[in-house]
């Protein structure tokens, strides 16, 4: 597992830090508030054997453009930025894959720019706010681990945390979203580390309260693969079921032994499901 190649790309909407790895048809991967570096990303790594993956740092993450106005931190603006990146790279169409809030970006991308996408992979995500009406969600106040998750999220935004403390909190937070938390060391064994952007996370916590694009899902025309762990504690399965019922040309695969990280919890199955999706739809064309 080598490092990712780093580039700072000047676009019509500013400069964006991207990391590139793999060979094949182009594919974009990003997340709403993760801060990537040359060690890459566990989710993005799953696609590098079949695609040239462009891992994108959005505004206010890494060395990418700053937000001059608060609205530039929104999901829709992130898609406008990704489109500017695609055009600057000279790519006519690429695939997109997103996990969690990255999957939510995939939903928005598909609604507004399906013509730019060869395919869309949406993992552990939702097309609307997923906390209020789901007691199975760890962000619902009635969930038994709600309070601790809130404490961890707030603590991880602090700038005075020592690296060792931050890593311990991150590990605890991740374990809460695994079906078998005792497998953490086995699943997260690579030298991959990333941060999170407090300013983006804070904006998301506001935007999420009014997020609901369920009535626009029918506008997504690109082939879409929706994946969710049966026991996903962040974006419960019901939200993936909802999406597959409304997105034309979509399929849902449920991972029976996973929570929020099916690409690690059932890694071999994840790769096989993606490969068959690509082959069935003949989407490997450049």
pLDDT mean values, one per 10 residues, the chain (286 residues): 90 98 97 97 97 98 98 98 98 98 98 98 98 95 96 88 89 96 96 92 96 98 98 98 98 98 98 95 53
pTM: 0.94
- Determine the number of helices (DSSP H) and then strands (DSSP E) in the chain: 10, 10
According to the model, what pLDDT value does residue 283 have?
A: 60
- What is the reported pLDDT for 286? 39
Class of domain 5-133+193-280: alpha beta
Q: Domain boundaries in the chain?
A: 5-133+193-280
Per-position DSSP letters for 170-213, written without gaps between them = HHHHHHTT-SSGGGHHHHT-SS---EE-HHHHHHHHHHGGG-B-
**Token pair belonging to 157:** 């935004």
Classified as helix, coil or strand, 52 is strand
CA distance 277 to 282: 8
Q: What per-residue confidence (pLDDT) applies to 282?
A: 62
Q: Quote the tokens at residue 8.
A: 């700072």
């Amino acid at each position: 597992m080598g490092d990712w190649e780093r580039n700072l790309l000047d676009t019509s909407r500013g400069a964006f830090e991207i990391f590139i790895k793999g060979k094949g048809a182009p594919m974009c991967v990003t997340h709403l508030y993760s801060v990537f570096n040359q060690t890459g990303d566990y989710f993005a790594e799953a696609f590098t054997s079949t695609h040239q993956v462009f891992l994108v740092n959005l505004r206010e993450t890494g060395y990418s453009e700053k937000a001059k106005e608060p609205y530039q931190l929104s999901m829709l603006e992130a898609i406008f930025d990704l489109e500017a990146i695609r055009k600057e790279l000279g790519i006519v169409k690429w695939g997109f894959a997103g996990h969690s809030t990255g999957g939510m970006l995939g939903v928005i991308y598909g609604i507004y720019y399906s013509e730019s996408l060869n395919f869309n992979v949406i993992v552990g995500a939702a097309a609307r706010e997923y906390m209020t009406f789901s007691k199975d969600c760890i962000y619902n106040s009635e969930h038994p681990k709600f309070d601790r998750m809130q404490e961890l999220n707030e603590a991880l935004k602090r700038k005075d945390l020592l690296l060792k403390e931050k890593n311990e909190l991150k590990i605890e937070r991740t374990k809460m979203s695994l079906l078998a938390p005792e497998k953490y060391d086995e699943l997260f064994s690579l030298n991959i580390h990333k941060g999170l952007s407090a300013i983006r996370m804070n904006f998301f916590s506001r935007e999420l309260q009014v997020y609901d694009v369920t009535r626009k899902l029918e506008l997504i025309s690109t082939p879409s693969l929706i994946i969710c762990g049966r026991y996903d504690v962040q974006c419960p399965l019901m939200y993936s079921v909802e999406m597959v019922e409304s997105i034309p040309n979509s399929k849902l695969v449920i991972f029976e032994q996973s929570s929020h990280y099916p690409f690690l919890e059932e890694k071999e199955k994840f790769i096989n499901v993606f490969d068959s999706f690509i082959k069935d739809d003949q989407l490997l064309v450049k």
